[in-house]
Amino acid sequence: MDNKDLLNPRIMGDEPKMYALFDYLRENAPVTYVEDPDYIPFWSLSKYEDIKNIGSKNDEFLSAPRATLIRKNLEDFFEKKLGTRNGGETLINMDRPKHLKIRRVSREWFLPRNIAKLNAQMEDLAKYYVDKMQDMGEECDFVKDVALEYPLRVISTILGLPREDEHLILKITQEMFGNSDPDLRRGKSMKDTLSIISDLYAYFSEVITSRKNKPTDDLSSVIANAVIDGEPMNLLDQLNYFIIIATAGHDTTSSALSGGLKALIEHPEQMEKWRHNSDLDSNATKEIMRWVSPVRHMVRTATQDFTLRDKQIRAGENIVLWFPAANRDESVIKNANSFDLNRDPKNNLAFGYGSHMCLGQHLATAEVEIFFRELLPRLKNIEMQREPDWIHANFVGGLKSMPISYRF
């Protein structure tokens, strides 16, 4: 196996191939230097402890210089057009102190006690989509008909966005995270990629103007009227905030739902165990998150020279943290390649680690838990009609299509 396969969206978008690559790297090259003419060279980490350690030291390993793997020519294009090599300064590519200040804008909304206030709405939405499955007869494409729509409806409700706009947001999100997938990308050119960001800026500029003029009781109004260091939050920061909340806020959860159902179908004994025991809800949901690990990687930049497993890493070099690899590391997680809903969930890096740990983790786990609590007791039988299709991606991965048959 070649460590350059880490840059191949077809391999990284195919779960069996991706995990086979990670198993090989953990065993043979847990810290490996990857060089490719199209990318800035980087160090790849595939061991749980290394990834957790780097992720916890946010002042030593920075996010702002580079947060994800992007081709050099596209980074250059972004820098020329947007003033940043990341394609926009969002929460994932900020460092302290700005990161903490911006994160505080919506932190209260995503605390467990406040997510709990949304449970009734999420339960209603989960019932709506399970009812939809039942109304469709005995088959559907779970990804396209349910998993993509349900989390989007949840985040749109929190933001107070019109339902008629959900199709647009979904389309743009798929184009953004599926930019390497011929079925999802907007086009092949760098201008096509930039136009995705431009469309999101245009849409959320209107939302911001609307909420400034007439605030309502939603998260959009909080962002639009936020004050930082005694001054109104600047427009560009607001726009980038909306992008990360509105896109990553549903796309990763969609992947967890579809990947979670796939795992349950492939492990019917685990499905039966959960169906009859609601006490498993929390553990089962966290095991799904570990098993699926929708966010494949994040990049950090070293601020000083250091040694890791006999490898000399220099200040300024990039380090890629592969979260799915960490979550299958059997030196830390016993029987990590087994799907076990009774597993102790404490060793789980699906949401990252440190100050950049996912802001919406409690919302995501609540959505998944509530959906399966609605679905499983009603199911009599379920199976996949064929092997599912995977999105070609190495940043946010997951299923593109999963036709299923079922009986209620």
* pLDDT one-digit tens code per residue, 387-404: 999 989 888 889 999 999
Superfamily of domain 3-388+399-407: Cytochrome P450 (1.10.630.10)
Taking the complete model, does pTM exceed 0.75, yes or no? yes
pLDDT per residue of the chain (408 residues) written in tens, 0 to 9:
788 999 998 899 888 899 999 999 999 999 999 999 999 999 999 999 999 999 999 999 999 999 999 899 888 888 887 777 777 788 888 999 999 999 999 988 899 999 999 999 999 999 999 999 999 999 999 999 999 999 999 999 999 999 999 999 888 888 877 778 788 878 777 888 888 888 999 999 999 999 999 999 999 999 999 999 999 999 999 999 998 888 877 888 999 999 999 999 999 999 999 998 999 999 999 999 999 999 999 999 999 999 999 999 999 999 999 999 999 999 999 999 999 999 988 889 999 998 899 989 999 999 999 999 999 999 999 999 999 999 898 888 899 999 999 999
**Residue with structure tokens 């920061």?**
237
* pLDDT of the residue at 250: 82
d(CA 182, CA 192): 13
Positive or negative CA dihedral for 335, 336, 341, 347? positive
Phi, psi dihedrals of residue 319, rounded to the nearest 5°: -130, 125
Q: How far apart are CA 377 and CA 158, in angstroms?
A: 27
Bridge pairing between strands 31-34 and 42-45: antiparallel
pLDDT confidence of residue 282: 93
Q: Provide the phi-psi class of 198: left if phi over 0, else alpha when psi is between -120 and 50, else beta.
A: alpha
pLDDT at 77: 85
Cα torsion 226, 228, 231, 237 to 10°: value is -70
Q: Which residues, 6 or more positions from 298, have their beta carbon under 8 angstroms from its beta carbon?
A: 55, 63, 67, 68, 92, 320, 321, 323, 352, 356
Count of CB atoms situated within 10 Å of the CB of 318: 21
Give me the half-sphere count of Cα atoms (radius 13 Å) on the Cβ side of residue 72. 8
Q: Give the separation between CA 388 and CA 308, rounded to whole angstroms.
A: 38
Pick from 258, 203, 299: nearest CA to 397: 258
pLDDT of residue 13: 85
One-letter identity of residue 257? L
Number of residues assigned to the chain: 408
Residues 6 or more apart whose Cβ sits within 8 Å of residue 206: none
